[in-house]
Amino acid sequence: MTRIRELDGREALARVNELAEVLRDCVEGGASVGFMWPLAEGRAEAFWRRVAEGVAAGERHLFVAEDSSGRICGTLSLVVDMPDNQPHRADVSKMLVHRRARRQGMAEQLLRALEVKARALGKTTLVLDTVTGSDASRLYERLGWQQVGDIPNYALMPDGAPCLTTYYFRALAGSPRGA
């Protein structure tokens, strides 16, 4: 049984090691999520400490998927720290699911929880990017995200190979400010 919930900054900081384990597993497994393999010692933990600080500061919301033993096996962030002319928008970041927990619907559950939060915050437009043709891109398209376009050589895979990246957006109907 998977449990999806939002962590506050204090709990995110307390669970940095679990979050780092998920990140390391995803990068080791070939996911292009902003890091190269092998990760330098402490790199994943430093990243999650910065995320926890952002959560505590109200700049982002961090969602986790926990397995039946309560271990974190997936993450997703809603970045709400936007420029003044974009109060209606948020970025979706770091959809990560540990390889041991994939194909169980966690990514979809995380995304649905994030969208509920975004609506509650009055966000009407969400934006994200992912590797073109990835499992994530198929999930986003299945859930109604609109493809905006592809950028060649936008990022590197963890092994250094360049990858094609697709940008997506989602207009949220039912948000307090409208769609």
Reported as a single tens digit per residue, the pLDDT across 7-54 is 999 999 999 999 999 999 999 999 999 999 999 999 999 999 999 999
Question: What is the reported pLDDT for 1?
Answer: 85
Question: What is the reported pLDDT for 178?
Answer: 43
Sheet strands (E) in the chain:
3-7, 60-66, 72-79, 89-97, 125-131, 146-156, 162-171
Give the list of residues 6+ apart from residue 127 with CB closer than 8 angstroms, or none.
89, 90, 91, 92, 167, 168, 169
Q: Is residue 136 a part of any domain in this protein? A: yes
Amino acid symbol at 169: F
Report the alpha-carbon angle 48-50-51, nearest 5: 60
- Residue numbers of the domain that contains 8: 3-171
Q: Which tokens sit at 167? A: 């940008």
Report d(CA 35, CA 22) in Å as an integer. 13
Query: How many structural domains are present in the chain?
Result: 1
Instruction: Using the structure block, give the residue that is written with the tokens 């500061």.
Output: 57
H or E segment at 110? helix 106-120
Q: Is residue 85 a part of any domain in this protein? A: yes
Task: Tell me: pLDDT of 111 over 80.
Answer: yes
CATH number at residue 101: 3.40.630.30
Question: What is the reported pLDDT for 92?
Answer: 98
Nearest to residue 23, comparing CAs of 38, 6, 5?
38
Q: By percentage, how much of the chain surpasses pLDDT 90?
A: 96
Q: Is residue 89 a part of any domain in this protein? A: yes
pTM reported for the whole predicted model: 0.95
Question: What is the reported pLDDT for 56?
Answer: 98
Give the list of residues 6+ apart from residue 178 with CB closer than 8 angstroms, or none.
124
Residue 118's CB: how many other CB atoms inside 10 A? 22
Residue 140's pLDDT band, with cuts at 50, 70 and 90, is very high
Q: Is residue 178 a part of any domain in this protein? A: no
